Structure 1
Amino acid sequence: MILVTGGLGFIGSHTARALLDLGEDCVVVQRSTRQLPAFLEDARMTVEPADINDREALLAIGRRHDITGIVHLAGSHPWPPVPDAPVEATRQALGGLLNIAQAAQEWGVRRLGVASTIGVYLGAAGEGPLREDAPLSMHAPVSIPTFKKIGEMLGDFLADTTGIDIVNYRISGTWGPLGHPDPFFAAPALVHAAAHGTAPDLSHLVRPAFAEDGIDLTYVKDTGRAIALLQLADKLNHRTYNVGSGRATTNAELIEAISKAVPGAQVDLPTGGEAPHLVLDINRLTRDTGYRPEYDTERAAADYIAWLRAGNKR
């Protein structure tokens, strides 16, 4: 039985669905009460309301269930930033991660997977797809990659000292059902606008969006399946895996796919774009799990638009 923290959230719910589809029972841990997504309503899983920062409540879950593995997707970083209480926010972020590691040790789980991000590569030198062995910059422009780098280093230390199989997932830009507007890429906002017949609101982006901007963009159903395959693999040869599509998707490509699903959608962006195309090398993931993305841009856009038009808010 696999425990998924943040298991009713964006990536967590799709990971739980993928684990279930692969024949594994799940316990999902969610701090806040929320309705089950439609694709989990008939699932054979247990929902445990708990905050990972409440160590005793977390450890008690292991006394009620036979947990054999953990997928840790709940936030382990202060986001949005907490400028009025940075020390306490840091304590909460790292405390939750350490509580999960303690639970893994006490329960004797086979593998603990921890979410990281493509953002750890910001500032990395070199051209072409980003490999897991690329040297990383010590600096990060925002809190998410900062705390993910810290989490990866702590994971390596704990794996060495406890013997737990701790695996880092460096997750690319992910979009799809249950997602939020993302500050770093325009895909969710463009799809929402097309589905609802409105102009896209891009005010949340950290920089203006252009047609030729691109990033390794992965549909969330593929992201969830990749994480599930990493969790259930008999043997993994590495501690860190890129989870992505292995290619750059530009906004122009996405707009073309949206226009096929919704002819006449007003989602055009200005030409140009200077943002670097961050692309993950996913050869490790493919070799060790057999993973291949199932959703190209056109299929993903159509699926997401259908989900939103069915009455789902996100």
Structure 2
Amino acid sequence: MILITGGLGFIGSHTARALLDLGEGCVLTRRQTTRVPSFLSDETGERIRIEALDVSDRQAVLDLGRRHTITGIVHLAAAPLDGSPIIGRLRADLGALLNVLEAAREWGVARVSVASTIGVYGGVPIDGPLREDVPLPMDGSSHHIPVIKKSAELIGALASGQEGFDVVALRISATWGPLGRPRSSFFVLPQLVHAAVRGQAPDLTPPSPRGYAEDGADLCYVKDVARAIALLQTAKCPGGGTYNVGAGHATKNREVAAAVKAVVPDAVIDLPAGRDPDGPGDDVVLDITRLRRDTGYEPAYDLERAVTDYVDWLRAGNDR
């Protein structure tokens, strides 16, 4: 079975579904969430086992291997984004990673996939899609999440080279869809979809981006992100390494608005023209050549299909 830490979370739940579709069973950990998404509920107790777990508790992590035969790990759990001092967040996140890596060694797993983020590319000069081998700035004064993720990538690579199992770093792009947050501080798509379903104008006041029409991002539907993670976790290619996980192209806010209006014709969306004068000036796009080459991955959801799927999910009574 594949262990997914944070397995009842946003990306974790969809990754479980993708692994089930590939014939794998899953152990899903949860910290607080108890709700099982409808697309997993029929498998619970059969191919899915759910465990309450604080991933920062070393012994609790190791004990999972006594209850389940775990053959691989997808580590998505993170410390809660509360008001804890930064030292506490670092200890929780990096301690959890070390617990997972120690468990991988003890259980004899073949591969550990660890969530990273497109945010590690912050400060990299943009000249086209960003490849995994571009040098990353090591400026520790940036947001804590990229700092933690860069550190985790280095720790994972060192363990991969010395402990006998592969570690795959997943640099995940802007992800959206069912179970995701209805409001993002980084891109406007969730706000536009949720407002359209509610019959309201979107609230694009801070901390939301202002939604300039020509600003864009590498936006990837969560079901595609999950399938990419599942393919990387189960791929036959050895050696681990770093993989960009995204759409591989920029989607402009005006394209998002058009797709939302195509699905919800009475949606009220009025985006300011041009690009945000205070924004970064360039859209960050991930080069997914390596992901495609090693797994055969291709995004299955174009923008309108993804918006349709998400709107259907929300209209079915799901609040996220």
Deviation at residue 89 of structure 1 after TM alignment: 2.2
Q: Note closer, same or farther for the CA distance 1:98–1:25 as it changes in structure 2 (3 Å cut).
A: same
Tell me the equivalent position of 1:34: 34
Deviation at residue 204 of structure 1 after TM alignment: 4.8
Tell me the equivalent position of 2:110: 110
2:233 aligns with one of 226, 231, 234: 231
Deviation per residue, 1:75-127 (Å, 9 max, x gap):
15x63553xx2222221121111111111111110100000000111111240
Contact 2:175 2:221 (C-alpha < 8 Å) held by counterparts: yes
Deviation per residue, 1:54-87 (Å, 9 max, x gap):
11111111111110000001115x63553xx222
Deviation per residue, 1:157-188 (Å, 9 max, x gap):
11122122000000000000000122100111
Contact 1:237 1:288 (C-alpha < 8 Å) held by counterparts: no
Q: Name whichever of 62-71 and 156-165 sits farther off.
A: 156-165
- Cα distance in structure 2, aligned partners of 1:72 and 1:204: 31
Q: Note closer, same or farther for the CA distance 1:79–1:143 as it changes in structure 2 (3 Å cut).
A: farther
Tell me the equivalent position of 1:167: 168
Deviation at residue 209 of structure 1 after TM alignment: 2.1
Identity level (%): 56
Question: Where do 1:212-291 residues align within 5 Å?
Answer: 212-236=214-238, 238-274=240-276, 275=279, 276-291=282-297
**Alignment of 1:66 onto 2:69:** yes
Q: Note closer, same or farther for the CA distance 1:156–1:81 as it changes in structure 2 (3 Å cut).
A: farther
Tell me the equivalent position of 1:146: 147
Count of matched residue pairs:
311
Structure 1, unpaired ranges of 5+: none
Deviation per residue, 1:121-174 (Å, 9 max, x gap):
111124000000001111263111111101101111111221220000000000
- Cα distance in structure 1, aligned partners of 2:88 and 2:213: 40
Tell me the equivalent position of 2:191: 189
Deviation per residue, 1:234-280 (Å, 9 max, x gap):
11455000000100001100100000100020022111114421110
Question: Where do 1:69-84 residues align within 5 Å?
Answer: 69-75=72-78, 79-80=81-82, 82=84
Deviation at residue 190 of structure 1 after TM alignment: 0.7
Q: Note closer, same or farther for the CA distance 1:135–1:112 as it changes in structure 2 (3 Å cut).
A: same
**Alignment of 1:96 onto 2:96:** yes
Amino acid at match of 1:263: P
Q: Structure 1 residue runs of 4+, over 4 Å off?
A: none
- RMSD of the alignment, in Å? 1.4
Contact 2:166 2:239 (C-alpha < 8 Å) held by counterparts: no
Q: Name whichever of 289-298 and 193-202 sits farther off.
A: 193-202
Amino acid at match of 2:313: W
Q: Name whichever of 131-140 and 16-25 sits farther off.
A: 131-140
- Cα distance in structure 1, aligned partners of 2:70 and 2:211: 44
Q: Name whichever of 208-217 and 138-147 sits farther off.
A: 138-147
- Cα distance in structure 1, aligned partners of 2:284 and 2:202: 24
**Alignment of 1:55 onto 2:58:** yes
- Cα distance in structure 1, aligned partners of 2:207 and 2:134: 27
| Length-normalised TM-score, structure 2 | 0.94
| Length-normalised TM-score, structure 1 | 0.96
- Cα distance in structure 2, aligned partners of 1:48 and 1:26: 11
